[in-house]
Amino acid sequence: MLMIYVWYMVCRLVFLWSNWENYAAGFDKLELNQLITGSLFFDTSAILYTNALYALLMLLPLHYKERKPWKRVAKWVFVVTNSLCLSLNLVDVVYFRYTSRRTTASVFQEFSHEGNILSIIGKEVVHHPFIVLLGIALIALLWILYIEPRAYRPQLRPRWKYYVVQVLSLGVFVPLCVAGMRGGFTTAVRPITLSNANQYVNQPAEAALVLNTPFSIIRTINKKSFEDPKYFSSQELDALYSPLHTPRKDQGEMQRKNVVVLILESFGQEFVGALNPQLDGGKYKGATPFLDSLIAVSTTYEQSFANGRKSIDGMPSVLSSIPMFVEPFFLTPASLNHLSGLAGELKKENYYTAFFHGAANGSMGFQAFAKSTGFKDYFGRTEFNEDKRFRGDEDFDGTWAIWDEPFLQYYATKMNEMREPFMTAVFTASSHAPFKVPEQYENQFPDEGPTVLHRCVKYSDMALRKFFAKARTMPWYKNTIFVLTADHTSLSSHAEYSTPVGLFRVPIIFFDPSGKMPAGRHPGIAKQIDIMPTILGYLRYPRPYIAFGNDLTQIAATDNYEVAYLNGVYIFVQGDEVLLFDGQKVTGLYDYKHDVMLQHNLVGKSPRQGGMERKLKAIIQSYMSRMISDQVTLPKQ
């Protein structure tokens, strides 16, 4: 078992090496002894959990276990169990680049509906031969270096002594094992969880260095996603924060404009040149020339953020104003609550609603969520293939979905056949691993750029240009509000996009072809969960509704805030500052505009800390209590 500690540390070093760009800027500020201490705490817990059966096989006070068949079974249990754990650690060497956290038990639900998951894993294996070879070598050494105990010969000593020694050994091991799993001996010690890793590092993303993947999965199996923290009484809570939105009495008649929401896979703000005038000394061009041109005539904000780190976080945030706290909303029991969203609310006003996604129907749980939040129809790969005007699976990318260019053309065509007003959303797919573009565009978008994702983003940006060129010819175009955002950020090449603030920066773009929405980049903050209430506010929607974001037609963006969750830490951005809160106490406060890499902790030094903490607590409590009590929508009138 000591050997397993060494193997875990090897995996951790490979993890650090492979993801160095995420840690380079702040690594010199980390304390090495703290990193090692924390790593041993979490490795001990994982190793004892996963090797408990092996230990029991070796320590049971039965002399039959000294026979060779028993010992061979014990060896197989040891090697197979730890091979799986090592494999999980090595998988996160790659997967971490996309999530910025260790994989948890929710991953099994997340990909449970993906029929092509084995194909996806196979392609990742091919693209990372070093990781595969390292895994094979470590597993082989597990078998080779395993020292099988010699058989016990009872004639050498009385059998009763053997049983005394075995019982004592088991009696000593069991409490040590329980203490190691929990992270301490005393009854006052709560079993360590993922959030405990933050005490050994400076920023939430760095917690993955201390954690290991087996621990992260074990600790999140059957974990309650929602617990009411009871920070405030109900009266105090209502005074501090409420997600209830009510129409203004003087707002006038509703504008019955169409609403089109484009959720762009992995289009982090870093790829958008128009939103990064400061990068590379002002010479940065990005990978989105069309999006840059659209931003020039659209409404954007100085700071804009996602509220999650995965695709399954993006859809609830953008379309239903539900952020990701603790676990992806799709994967929690609250996904069975009564739900609404942009589609559900506008459906009450006789809007036709439809959701589009070019992957297999049911992929990622999008179809189920779309239906539960008010989308009348769903158009996926199946419907695309059935439309004889398009080429069907000839335009399948071979891994995930229909290529963005043909699917967005299909999207525009289908909208031209809808009755107005309509509300639709599309989730693109091509800017994703395995980072390919259609064969006919290989020369136009060569494999170059700071990251492998750049060429895919350039292709998808071209697909957007062609989509808008087609939409511009259609009669519904001028009567439509377009919203463009990313589901989450992804691979980055600039250090400032690897901080707790940078990891959530995505574009949020409101485009009104009629020109009635004021264009320009406004000071302040916008976030994904603001999209639903802002659109409803702009349309002068006449009904009350629940949304956890703010209506930017009623609140100044300079007074707005960002709220997110990463590795057991809540992140709250307001004004120039970002506050980190572990659910019990503030662990960090930084002036993120002037201290971009968040290296100077201002806890206890800012007059705004108390107000920010109270606001964040109120948002968390309101969210948790409403999820538990199924109050995410208003009762039917």
pLDDT tens, residue by residue, 571-622: 999 999 999 999 999 999 999 999 999 999 999 999 999 999 999 999 999 9
What is residue 287's three-state secondary structure? coil
CA–CA separation, 498 vs 189, rounded Å? 33
- Which residues contact residue 62 at a Cβ distance below 8 angstroms, ignoring those fewer than 6 apart? 166
Q: How confident is the model at residue 124 (pLDDT cuts 50, 70, 90)?
A: low
pLDDT at 188: 44
Residue 574's Cβ-count burial label (10 Å; 0-12, 13-18, 19+) is buried
% of the chain exceeding 90 in pLDDT: 63
Half-sphere exposure of 531 (CA within 13 A, CB side): 40
Angle, CA 578 vertex, CA 576 and CA 593 arms, to 5° = 35
* Choice among 66-70, 528-532, 613-617 with the minimum mean pLDDT: 66-70
| pLDDT of residue 130 exceeding 80 | yes
pLDDT greater than 80 at residue 518: yes
At residue 431, does pLDDT exceed 80? yes
Write phi, then psi, for 261 (nearest 5 degrees): -115, 125
User: In the structure, what pLDDT confidence band is assigned to residue 432 with cuts at 50, 70 and 90?
Assistant: confident
- Give the angle 139-141-145 at the CA atoms, nearest 5°: 135
- For residues 486 and 509, is the Cβ–Cβ distance under 8 A? no
Phi first, then psi: what are they for 424, rounded to 5°?
A: -130, 160
Q: pLDDT at residue 302 above 50?
A: yes
- Residue 439's contacts (CB-CB under 8 Å, 6 or more residues apart) are none
Mean per-residue pLDDT of the chain: 90
Other CB atoms within a 10 A radius of the CB of residue 159 amount to: 11
Mean pLDDT of the region 507-515: 96
Q: Token pair for residue 366?
A: 């999008």
**Residue at token pair 């750049």:** 454
- Distance, in Å, from the CA atom of 539 to the CA atom of 517, rounded to the nearest integer, reads 11
User: Rounded to an integer, what distance in angstroms lies between the CA atom of residue 561 and that of residue 557?
Assistant: 8
3-state secondary structure (DSSP) of residue 374: coil
pLDDT at 327: 85
Q: Does pLDDT of 564 surpass 50? A: yes
Q: Which amino acid, 317?
A: S
Query: What local confidence, expressed as pLDDT, does residue 125 receive?
Result: 65
Q: How confident is the model at residue 404 (pLDDT cuts 50, 70, 90)?
A: very high
- Whether the CB-CB separation of 183 and 69 falls below 8 Å is answered with no
- In single-letter form, the type of residue at position 1 comes to M
- Our measurement of the distance from residue 96's CA atom to the centroid of its chain's CA atoms, rounded to an integer in Å, reads 10
Distances from the Cα of 388 to the Cα of 189, 266, 383, 447, 522, angstroms: 64, 30, 10, 33, 44
Q: Where are the alpha helices (DSSP H) in 101-151?
A: 106-110, 117-127, 129-145
Question: If 0-12 CB within 10 Å is exposed, 13-18 middle and 19+ buried, where does residue 328 land?
Answer: buried
| Mean pLDDT, residues 284-312 | 95
For residue 325, list its beta bridge partners: 327
Which pLDDT score is estimated for 154? 53
Provide the pairing of β-strand 258-264 with 480-486. Answer: parallel
pLDDT mean over 220-235: 86
Q: How many whole angstroms separate alpha carbon 534 and alpha carbon 497? A: 26
Q: What is the pLDDT of residue 116?
A: 59
Rg of the chain, C-alpha, whole Å: 27
> In the beta sheet, which residues pair with residue 427?
263, 357
> 19 or 115: whose pLDDT is higher?
19
Instruction: Provide the pLDDT confidence category of residue 101 given band limits of 50, 70 and 90.
Output: confident
pLDDT for 156 equals 46
Instruction: Quote the CA–CA distance of 497 and 121 in Å, as a whole number.
Output: 27
For residue 99, pLDDT over 90 is answered with no
Provide the percentage of residues in the chain whose pLDDT is more than 70.
Answer: 94
Structure tokens at 423: 């509300």
Tokens of 287: 């990978």
DSSP one-letter string for 65-95 = GGSHHHHHHHHHHHHHHHHHHHHHHHHHHHH
Instruction: Encode 292-354 in three state secondary structure.
Output: HHHHCCCEEEEEEECCCCCHHHHHHHHHHCCCCECECHHHCHHHHCCCCCHHHHHHCCCCEEE
What's the pLDDT at 26? 80
pLDDT value, residue 556: 94
Parallel, antiparallel or unpaired: strands 352-357 and 422-427: parallel
- Over residues 285-299, the mean pLDDT reads 95
Place of tokens 């009495």: 249
Two tokens at 364?
């990622």
Query: Is 250 a residue whose pLDDT tops 50?
Result: yes
What CA–CA distance (Å, rounded) separates 324 from 348?
26
Q: How many CA atoms lie within 13 A of 63 on its CB side?
A: 12
Residue 210 contacts residue 9 (beta carbons within 8 Å): no
Pairing of strands 545-546, 561-566: unpaired
Mean pLDDT across the stretch 290-312? 95
- Cα(75)–Cα(142) distance, rounded to whole angstroms? 10
Report yes or no: 622 and 242 within 8 Å, Cβ to Cβ.
yes
pTM: 0.82
Contacts of 294 (CB under 8 A, 6+ apart): 464, 468, 484, 509, 511
* Model confidence at 39: pLDDT above 50: yes
| Of 335, 475, 499, 329, residue with least CA distance to 416 | 475
> What pLDDT does 336 receive?
74
Place 115 in a pLDDT band, splitting at 50, 70 and 90: low
Mean pLDDT of 339-346: 94
What average pLDDT does this structure show over 365-373? 88
- Asked if 267 and 292 touch (Cβ cutoff 8 Å), the reply is no
Residues 149-171: what's their mean pLDDT?
73
Task: Identify which of 65-74, 175-184, 449-458 has the greatest average pLDDT.
Answer: 449-458
Give the C-alpha separation, 364 to 367, whole Å: 8
Count the neighbouring beta carbons within 10 Å of the beta carbon of residue 116: 17
